[in-house]
């Protein structure tokens, strides 16, 4: 099944994992397909999980309710004011009730991928990402740290993976950093490509351009603060913790202090 | 001085990274970094070895420090970690990893 051969069925592929959305509303499916056009799956992409998508107000939720992800009877219950969803990780199936809002789709995809990634030894991280000279660079930081600024300053030969969220997955003995469709302030989705994760930079604004190597424990602490994780589940939290520790054990990590000037990218070559 | 035993809480995730240990208290997702000395105590905290033995055998010898001072520092650290729920302290031996 491809992402485009059935308007009501979409297969959205991020980091090699296909999430199928079987939409009962074709107009909504077209809207979502447009928003994720560059991440619609190619033939042969494995389906990691399937969701039946219903356009209906969520039941019994406060419209301003924050996202809540919990495990009950082996199924993930995901709720926010504008949607509710259930995901059975063993059957790899679930359902979603949305208001007809594409931003809700974005949130559900982010949450589902945090669950899939955690089980697969990976994680989603608040980070800009780029491929430069074949090397995957991860530029992580909280809101305001400079992710979008670094993307705006990027040289023409850098392939930007995302200005907001990158996907890090383990493949054998190496980690790959993948682009995602999750956009930040640039409002431009990332691209569906990946590269070996060569370096993790933790962004910090400063008065000069400077790289400060971090010891692995400090690197892990700072990386964990940037990892997306919503689930109230100790076992899964432990998996993410181990993945972050393993990643910093294998990957050089620096604090990148920078002024918002293009010259900062010369440090990253 | 009564004997004191210390065990790592089973719900705490942890990893040694070079000479330090990073610990996550799962319930609150608090993160702690233990320095080289604290990491030695953490790894020896099996619930069965008295703290005095851990300090004498793994701290005083390796770091060439005075026992009394090292023991006071270790106890202070462990009581702080116990308040955060990542270690268990008892005057009798603990099952390793017992809640």
pLDDT tens-digit profile of A12-34? Answer: 999 999 999 999 889 889 989 99
Domain that holds residue A147: 123-268
> Which of B15, B20, B31 is facing A242, going by the closest CB pair?
B15
pLDDT tens, position by position, A182-237: 988 888 889 999 999 999 999 999 999 999 999 999 999 999 999 999 888 888 99
Q: Which residues pair with A123 in a beta bridge?
A: A168
Indicate the number of domains in chain A.
2
Band of pLDDT at residue B3, cut at 50, 70 and 90: very high
Q: How far apart are CA A178 and CA A122, in angstroms?
A: 11
Residues of A in contact with B97 (CB under 8 A): none
Determine the residue among A214, A217, A225, A232 to mutate to test chain B binding: the one whose Cβ has the most chain B Cβ atoms within 10 Å: A217
**Can you tell me the distance from the alpha carbon of A108 to that of A12, in angstroms, rounded to the nearest whole number?**
12
Amino acid A3: pLDDT? 45
The one-character DSSP state at A38 is G
User: Do residues A152 and A247 both lie within one domain?
Assistant: yes
Which pLDDT score, from 0 to 100, does residue B95 have?
Answer: 73
* Domain presence at residue B33: yes
B90: in domain: no
Nearest to B25 by CA among B77, B87, B78, B80: B87
Asked if A248 and B31 come within 8 Å (Cβ–Cβ), the reply is no
Residues of B in contact with A70 (CB under 8 A): none
B97 lies in some domain: no
User: Is residue A3 a part of any domain in this protein?
Assistant: no
Q: Is B15 on the interface with A (CB under 8 A)?
A: yes
Same domain, A56 and A26: yes
Domain presence at residue A233:
yes
| Same domain assignment for residues A88 and A174 | no
Contact in structure between A135 and A194 (CB atoms under 8 Å): no
Task: Quickly count: other Cβ atoms within 10 Å of residue A145's Cβ.
Answer: 20
Chosen domain end from A119, A142, A169? A119
- What is the structure's pLDDT at A225? 95
> How far does B1 lie from chain A, in Å, by closest CA?
35
**B29/B48 Cα distance (integer angstroms):** 27
Residue A135 lies in a domain: yes
pLDDT of residue A92 exceeding 80: yes
Q: CB within 8 A of A59, min separation 6: which ones?
A: A84, A97
Q: What is the pLDDT of residue A63?
A: 67
Q: Looking at the structure, do residues A243 and A262 belong to the same domain, yes or no?
A: yes
% of chain A at pLDDT higher than 70? 96
Full domain range(s) for residue B80:
5-85
Q: Which of A119, A145, A167 is the last residue of a domain?
A: A119
Q: Considering CB atoms only, which of B13, B18, B33 is closest to A221?
A: B33
Is A261 within 8 Å of A207 (Cβ atoms)? Answer: no
In A, which residues are within 8 Å of B18 by CB distance? 215-217
Does a structural domain hold residue A60? yes
- Asked if residue A259 and residue A149 are part of one domain, the reply reads yes
Match 């993410």 to its residue by tokens: A240
Q: What is the mean pLDDT of chain A?
A: 92
Percent of chain A's residues with pLDDT above 90: 77
* Structure token digits, residue A83: 């949607």
DSSP state of A268: G
User: What CATH number corresponds to the domain at position A210?
Assistant: 3.90.228.20
A134, A21: one domain: no
The tally of CA atoms less than 13 A away on the side-chain side of residue A143 is 4
- Asked if the C-beta of A238 comes within 8 angstroms of chain B's C-beta atoms, the answer is yes
A17 or A60, higher pLDDT: A17
**Domain of B58: which CATH number?**
3.90.930
- Residue A44 domain-assigned? yes
**In chain B, what's the furthest Cα-to-Cα distance?**
36
Q: Which DSSP state fits A187?
A: -
Q: Is residue B47 a part of any domain in this protein?
A: yes
For residue A263, the model assigns a pLDDT of 94
pLDDT the model gives residue A7: 52
Give me the torsion for CA of A23, A26, A27, A30, rounded to 10°. Answer: 80
Q: Average pLDDT in the B70-75 region?
A: 97
Q: How confident is the model at residue A89 (pLDDT cuts 50, 70, 90)?
A: very high
Domain annotation covers residue B92: no
Co-location of A34 and A128 in the same domain = no
Q: Are residues A93 and A221 in the same domain?
A: no
Question: How many Å apart are CA A226 and CA A228, to the nearest integer?
Answer: 7
Look at chain B and report how many structural domains it folds into.
Answer: 1
Tokens describing residue A182: 């999750």
Chain A hits for B13, Cβ within 8 Å = 237-238, 241-242
The answer to whether residue B24 sits within a structural domain is yes
What is the separation of C-alpha A220 from the centre of its chain, rounded to a whole number of angstroms?
A: 18
Q: Quick: pLDDT tens for A1-12.
A: 344 444 589 999
In a domain, B95, yes or no: no
Considering only CB atoms, which chain B residues are within 8 Å of A245?
15, 17, 22
pLDDT score recorded for residue A2: 42
Same domain, yes or no: A115 and A61: yes
**Same structural domain, A60 and A140:** no
Domain-embedded: residue B99: no
What six digits make up the tokens of A121?
A: 């030894």
How much is the ipTM here? 0.87
A22 and A128 co-located in one domain? no
A248 near B CB under 8 A: yes
- Mean pLDDT along residues A97-123: 90
């Amino acid at each position: 099944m491809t992402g485009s051969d059935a308007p009501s069925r979409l297969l959205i592929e991020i980091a090699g994992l296909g999430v199928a959305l079987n939409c009962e509303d074709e107009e909504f499916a077209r809207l979502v397909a447009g928003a994720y056009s560059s991440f619609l799956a190619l033939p042969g992409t494995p389906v990691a999980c399937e969701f039946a998508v219903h356009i209906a107000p969520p039941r019994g939720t406060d419209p301003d309710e924050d996202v809540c992800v919990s495990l009950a009877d082996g199924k993930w219950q995901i709720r926010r004011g504008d949607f509710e969803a259930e995901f059975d990780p063993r059957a790899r199936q679930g359902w979603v009730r949305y208001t007809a809002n594409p931003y809700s789709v974005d949130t559900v995809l982010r949450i589902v991928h945090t669950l899939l990634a955690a089980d697969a030894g990976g994680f989603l991280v608040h980070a800009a990402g780029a491929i430069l000279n074949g090397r995957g660079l991860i530029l992580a930081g909280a809101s305001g740290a400079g992710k979008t600024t670094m993307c705006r300053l990027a040289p023409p030969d850098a392939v930007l993976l995302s200005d907001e969220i990158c996907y890090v997955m383990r493949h054998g003995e190496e980690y790959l950093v993948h682009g995602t469709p999750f956009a930040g302030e640039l409002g431009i989705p990332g691209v569906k490509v990946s590269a070996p994760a060569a370096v993790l930079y933790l962004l910090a604004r400063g008065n000069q351009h400077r790289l400060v190597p971090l010891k692995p424990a400090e690197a892990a602490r700072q990386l964990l603060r940037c990892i997306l994780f919503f689930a109230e589940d100790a076992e899964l939290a432990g998996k993410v913790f181990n993945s972050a520790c393993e990643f910093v054990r294998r990957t050089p990590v620096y604090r990148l202090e920078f002024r918002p000037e293009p010259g900062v990218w010369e440090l990253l070559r | 001085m009564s004997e004191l035993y210390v065990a790592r809480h089973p719900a705490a995730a942890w990893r040694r990274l070079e000479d330090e240990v990073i610990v996550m208290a799962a319930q609150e997702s608090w993160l702690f970094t233990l320095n080289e000395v604290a990491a030695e105590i953490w790894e020896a905290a099996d619930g069965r070895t008295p703290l005095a033995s851990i300090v004498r055998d793994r701290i005083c010898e390796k770091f060439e420090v005075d026992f009394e001072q090292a023991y006071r520092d270790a106890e202070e650290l462990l009581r702080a970690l116990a308040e955060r729920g990542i270690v268990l302290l008892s005057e009798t031996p603990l099952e390793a990893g017992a809640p």
